[in-house]
Amino acid sequence: MQNEHSITMTSKTDTETGRTEAGSTRTTSNTGAETNTDETGTPDTETDTNTDTNTNARADGGTPANSTDDPWTDAGGSPSALLGRPVVVGVVVLTVAVLVVPIVMTFVSSFARTATGALPSGFVTLSHWRHVLGLGDYGVRANAVPGLTFSIAIATGGMVLNVLVGVPIAYALSRYDFYARDWVNTLAILPLVPGVVLGIAFLRTYPERGGSALGLIVGYCLLKSPYMVLTVQSSFQSMDLERLEESARSLGASWPRTFLTVIVPHAKQGILAGCVITWTLAAAEFNFTYMVHTGDPEPFSMFLFRNISNAPYLQSAAAISIYFCIVVAAILFLQLIGNRGFTTARN
Amino acid sequence: MGDTLQRTLTIAHTVAFPTTERERERRRIAVMCLPFLVLAVFAGFVPLATMARMSLSAERLSNEGWSLEAWKTLTTDSTYWWIGFNTLWFAAAATLVSVAVGVAIAHALEKYSLPFENAIVAVVSFPIALPGIVVAFMVIVLLGRQGLITQAIAVFSGESAVSLATATTIGGLFLGYVYSLIPRATMVLRGTYAEVNTDAEEAARSLGASPLETFVRVTLPEIRPGIVAACILTYRSALAIFGTVLILQGGLVVVTLRIDRELSIGFNSQMAGAIGLVYVAFLIAFTFVGLRFVRTDAVEI
Amino acid sequence: MSDVTLESITKAYGDDTAVDDLDLTIRDGEILGIVGPSGCGKTTTLRTIAGFETPTAGRVLFDGRDVTHVPPERRNVGLVFQSYALFDTMTVRENVAFGLEMRDVPADERRRRADELLELLDIAEFADRRPRTLSGGQQQRVGLARALAIEPHVLLLDEPMTGLDAKLKTRLRTEIGALLADLEVTALYVTHDQEEAMAMCDRIAVLNDGHLEQLGTPADVYRRPDNAFVANFVGTSNVLEGTITDGRLDLGFTELDGSFDASGDVRVAVRPENVAIGGPLEATVRQATYLGERTELVAALPDGTTVTLRANGDASYTRGDSIPVAIDADRIRVVE
């Protein structure tokens, strides 16, 4: 007991001294030193405190520690203790800045009159927004509204199909163990065909329908299904599926009824999150759309593409900002139902 | 052979007309997997098979006749080997950088109580929602002629912004890649970090390990499966990038861009099909080999 | 009448036999406990009765009616789980009424009966809350109310108290035991905790490795274990080796008179409470564990055999103390 006491005290003092020697966090070590002085009941200078503790420790029969020789005393001053956190935080801050600055910049620029200087200037004008939304004297054909309406309808179709396809397979994969389960799982959570390739394959396979609304719905559904399967699976993982199901069935619910009245409501949050994510991604899906689209009505992502590659800077900014608004709404909704960001991972 | 057939028939029969609970369960599994499998067949496997046929077609506009021409070109023309090589190394470099940054972000989010943590997660996940073409625009906003960074350097160095713009160089393209990949890598790693045993880390610290030693000796071994999973998923995403390259070009032809060019210049559909097929085959092989090293529950997007 | 009979049930998973040729009857209105170490087949037995496992061989009879192939939802069994498995998307009342809803009982009747049960289980005040907001003990009451609401043919309880703390467990088992007896429910109570089983059940089946080791009332099983496994699993036993000749038991360190039926080399079981302090044998204390109202002692007999015994908590013992002990010959049970 006595030994323990002295060891605790010694190391405490040493750490504080070590910190002070390293010359960092002056305030903290001062407070620490004060406490030490109280405990040992002695002097002002750091060295004195140290000596005193050593004497004290010897008297108690504990191991005396000499702060100048003991490598442990340097722990507080090791490079990683000093620099580790600032460096990591620096990387985070820089990354977040790189990710977020262009987004904010784009949104802000969409309200600027001119972009010729170092920074956009001449705030606030809504003309670019009016332009891309087709308000005022601009032609209907050049604005985002018809494409956006079309894309929203297609994305909604893809989302509904994803619920019908994704929820059952997510359930089967979470609840049961079966032959080739791992293969089916990989197939369901990792899209094996990228959008560009699926696009050209679709064109040849379904020459009449590949670029039609139905073709787009089916394509989006397959491309985005992993997001639905993963979110629903993570919902299922947090519940005791087997016991829930057995409870319901022992109470007289047939298996289909159990699935619909017990299992699905429990996974509501995951299904909603999956819906939001697959819908948002499908609304601006580009790679597949670019390959298969046939022109009329022009999907939203093709409208964005035309703006980014051809339109004036500020008008492109406004066009893209429309989509930003959608994503922000999606993320807010996801946070509302318990996801922290635009991701299938749950907290 | 006859045995196998008979067993298959028995299983098919019990799936259709189950009597035991195990058989009823099998029927349920079949019913629940069916919609997805139908979708996978009609939207995935059939088109892929048609694409394979397309690469062997003698005609450009429809699958008629047989020709090995495209495959011959693909295997003999060194241009294609270079494209493959470019795609692989560029994606690998972007993946390594993204996963490294992802580890830092996930570490900071899990270990340090940062202010605005929810906002940081939301912001970092934001680019996952952005299509490649929008990511390209983000690069232009930073590195284009009117880009923020370009303008800033121009002000300090006095050179003209036009000559400083790097958005459409390989550097700009690299930024575009990591812009879309960092969020994905981070989200996978966040899941792994949540499972790290903090007691072991604290034990290491109390035994005298510095933060760096603790990270290398205790934390890193624990998150290694997550890092491998993040590398695999990020690399797959990197290989599939198209919109960003299409806008920025960047002087680098990657597989997806080449497929597009084969079609837009002369509609060489056989060639596009052949490249596409090799590309998908590589992705599938890479995924299945890669997943042998990780548990699938580490997968998040 | 509502009894359940298992007729030579065998359940195998590939080469693994979870339950091996088990015959068991749960009589009308009784609480039958199944105890055994983990992996002994007790949960498989319960799930076979519920219908979630179809046995590899054998039949399950409810009142003589073969239900082996009847799916769980048509068996009318009540299930209570360790993890509660309540429906968090519904209120407590909706949980309890769920089974009645499945039976198309009209809404007002459902509500009345659910409220009755909530009242009976003393959780009426939580009727409109979500189960997740209740404590573990309250959630388990909801689970029980939900299972009882359908007036099950048999109530199956799978380690229902394992997740609860010791004090609550003791209170709840007295309460639930009384309630089930009042309602004359036929129940199967699966647990790894033999003390809980003794407190709650009319009869106990001890299972080991898929086999039935012994079936009887708690007192039977405790006082007259059929074999060393039961003697050790139910309560604590000292299993000693000895030889019986003409009804006399020679334990090496002592000879005991008694009308022992067996003869030859045997193993016998003696409960700690049947080793008394004060007697002809000299023992040395090896270990003394003070437990408040009593002290548990491990003592070595002259020939080195160690026995566990219990002493009054008032006296204090230390390692190395010499104590006189006696073994109650009437309470010795030959187990092998």
Amino acid sitting at position B126:
F
Contacts of B48 (CB under 8 A, 6+ apart): A193, A201, B277, B280
C67 touches chain A (CB under 8 A): no
Cβ-defined contact of A192 to B31 (cutoff 8 Å): no
pLDDT (0 to 100) of residue B201: 84
Q: What percent of chain B has pLDDT over 90?
A: 38
- Distance (Å) from the C-alpha of residue B192 to the closest C-alpha of chain A? 10
Greatest Cα pair distance in chain A:
94
Cβ-defined contact of A252 to C89 (cutoff 8 Å): no
* Two tokens, residue C160: 């229902």
CB atoms within 10 A of CB A33: 19
Cβ-defined contact of A262 to C71 (cutoff 8 Å): no
pLDDT at C1 > cutoff 50: yes
Q: Report how far residue A204's alpha carbon sits from residue C180's, in angstroms, rounded to the nearest whole number.
A: 69
Q: Tell me the residue length of chain B.
A: 301
Q: Report how far residue A52's alpha carbon sits from residue C27's, in angstroms, rounded to the nearest whole number.
A: 79
pLDDT (0 to 100) of residue C148: 93
Q: Report how far residue A156's alpha carbon sits from residue A278's, in angstroms, rounded to the nearest whole number.
A: 9
- Residues of chain C in contact with residue B28, where contact means CB-CB under 8 angstroms, are none
Structure confidence by residue, pLDDT tens digits, C14-27:
888 999 999 999 99
A144 touches chain B (CB under 8 A): no
pLDDT (0 to 100) of residue B152: 86
Q: Where in chain A is the domain with CATH 1.10.3720.10?
A: 131-336
Sheet-wide strand order for C31-35: C77-81, C154-158, C187-191, C31-35, C203-208, C211-216
What are phi and psi for residue A77, nearest 5 degrees?
-105, 5
Please tell me whether residue C216 adopts helix, strand or coil conformation: strand
Contacts of B172 (CB under 8 A, 6+ apart): B139, B143, B166, B248, B250
Mean pLDDT in runs of 10 for chain A (347 residues)?
Answer: 37 37 37 38 40 42 47 59 84 93 91 78 82 66 78 93 94 90 87 88 84 88 92 89 92 92 92 93 91 82 88 87 93 88 74
Interface size B-C, in CB pairs within 8 Å, comes to: 13
- Distance (Å) from the C-alpha of residue A30 to the closest C-alpha of chain C? 46
List chains touching C (3+ CB pairs under 8 A). Answer: A, B
* Two tokens, residue B109: 């989010």
At the second CATH level, the architecture of B77-298 is Orthogonal Bundle (1.10)
Per DSSP (E only), the strands in chain C are 4-13, 16-26, 31-35, 57-62, 65-66, 77-81, 154-158, 187-191, 203-208, 211-216, 238-245, 248-250, 255-256, 264-270, 275-290, 294-300, 306-312, 322-327, 333-334
- Residues of chain B in contact with residue A80, where contact means CB-CB under 8 angstroms, are 210-213, 215
Average pLDDT of the residues in C183-193: 92
- Distance (Å) from the C-alpha of residue C56 to the closest C-alpha of chain B? 10
A331 touches chain B (CB under 8 A): yes
Nearest to B125 among A188, A290, A341 (CB): A341
pLDDT (0 to 100) of residue C113: 94
C77 touches chain A (CB under 8 A): yes
Domain A131-336 has CATH 1.25.40.10: no
Buried b / exposed e across A126-154, counting CB within 10 Å, b at 16+? ebbbebbbeeeeeeeeebbbbbbebbeeb
A238 touches chain C (CB under 8 A): no
Among candidates A130, A17, A8, A144, which has minimal Cα distance to A68? A17
- Residues of chain C in contact with residue B24, where contact means CB-CB under 8 angstroms, are 71
State the number of CA atoms in the 13 A half-sphere of C119 facing the CB. 6
State the number of CA atoms in the 13 A half-sphere of A255 facing the CB. 14
C242 touches chain A (CB under 8 A): no
Same fold, C4-230 and C236-334: no
Cβ-defined contact of C69 to B22 (cutoff 8 Å): no
- Distance (Å) from the C-alpha of residue B228 to the closest C-alpha of chain A? 15
- Residues of chain B in contact with residue C18, where contact means CB-CB under 8 angstroms, are none
pLDDT at B1 > cutoff 90: no
Task: Nearest chain A residue to B51 by CA: give it.
Answer: A201
As for the ipTM of the complex, it is: 0.90
* Range name among A26-40, C136-150, C203-217 with the lowest pLDDT average: A26-40
> Could you write out the three-class secondary structure of chain A?
CHHHHHHHHHHHHHHHHHHHHHCCCHHHHHHHHHHHHHHHCCCCCHHHHHHHHHHHHHHHCCCCCCCCCCHHHHHHHCHHHHHHHHHHHHHHHHHHHHHHHHHHHHHHHCCCCECCCCCCECCCCCHHHHHHHCCCCCCCCCCCHHHHHHHHHHHHHHHHHHHHHHHHHHHHHHHCCCCCHHHHHHHHHCCCCCHHHHHHHHHHHCCCCCCCHHHHHHHHHHHHHHHHHHHHHHHHHCCCHHHHHHHHHHCCCCHHHHHHHHHHHHCHHHHHHHHHHHHHHHHCCCHHHHHHCCCCCCCHHHHHHHHHHHCCHHHHHHHHHHHHHHHHHHHHHHHHCCCCCCCCCCC
Structure confidence by residue, pLDDT tens digits, B176-210:
999 999 999 999 898 888 888 888 888 888 887 88
pLDDT at B167 > cutoff 90: no
pLDDT at B145 > cutoff 90: no
Query: By the 8 A CB rule, do A306 and B246 touch?
Result: no
pLDDT (0 to 100) of residue C254: 82
Nearest to A222 among B33, B43, B182 (CB): B43
Query: By the 8 A CB rule, do C213 and C293 touch?
Result: no
Cβ-defined contact of A308 to B112 (cutoff 8 Å): no
Among candidates B271, B49, B284, which has minimal Cα distance to A201? B49
The fold of C236-334 is: OB fold (Dihydrolipoamide Acetyltransferase, E2P) (2.40.50)
Q: What mean pLDDT is reported for chain C?
A: 90
Q: Which residue has the higher pLDDT, A59 or B133?
A: B133
Q: For chain C, where are the alpha helices, taking DSSP H only?
A: 42-50, 92-102, 107-120, 136-149, 166-183, 194-200, 218-223, 228-233
pLDDT (0 to 100) of residue C31: 93
Interface size A-B, in CB pairs within 8 Å, comes to: 293
Q: For chain B, where are the alpha helices, taking DSSP H only?
A: 2-16, 21-39, 46-55, 69-76, 78-111, 117-125, 132-143, 148-157, 161-164, 170-194, 198-206, 211-214, 220-240, 243-248, 255-264, 269-291
Whole-model pTM: value is: 0.82
Backbone torsion region of residue A41, taken as left when φ is above 0, otherwise alpha when ψ lies between -120 and 50, otherwise beta: left
pLDDT (0 to 100) of residue A346: 63
- Residues of chain A in contact with residue C14, where contact means CB-CB under 8 angstroms, are none
CB atoms within 10 A of CB A208: 7
Sorted by where each begins, the domain ranges of chain B are 1-55, 77-298
Instruction: Report CA-CA distances (Å) from A111 to A103, A123, A195, C201.
Output: 14, 6, 33, 77
Amino acid sitting at position C327:
I
Cα R_g (chain C), whole angstroms: 24
pLDDT (0 to 100) of residue C26: 94
CB atoms within 10 A of CB B219: 22
- Distance (Å) from the C-alpha of residue B263 to the closest C-alpha of chain C? 52
Average pLDDT of the residues in C50-75: 92
The fold of C4-230 is: Rossmann fold (3.40.50)
Sorted by where each begins, the domain ranges of chain C are 4-230, 236-334
* Two tokens, residue C158: 């799978």
CB atoms within 10 A of CB C292: 6
pLDDT (0 to 100) of residue C245: 84
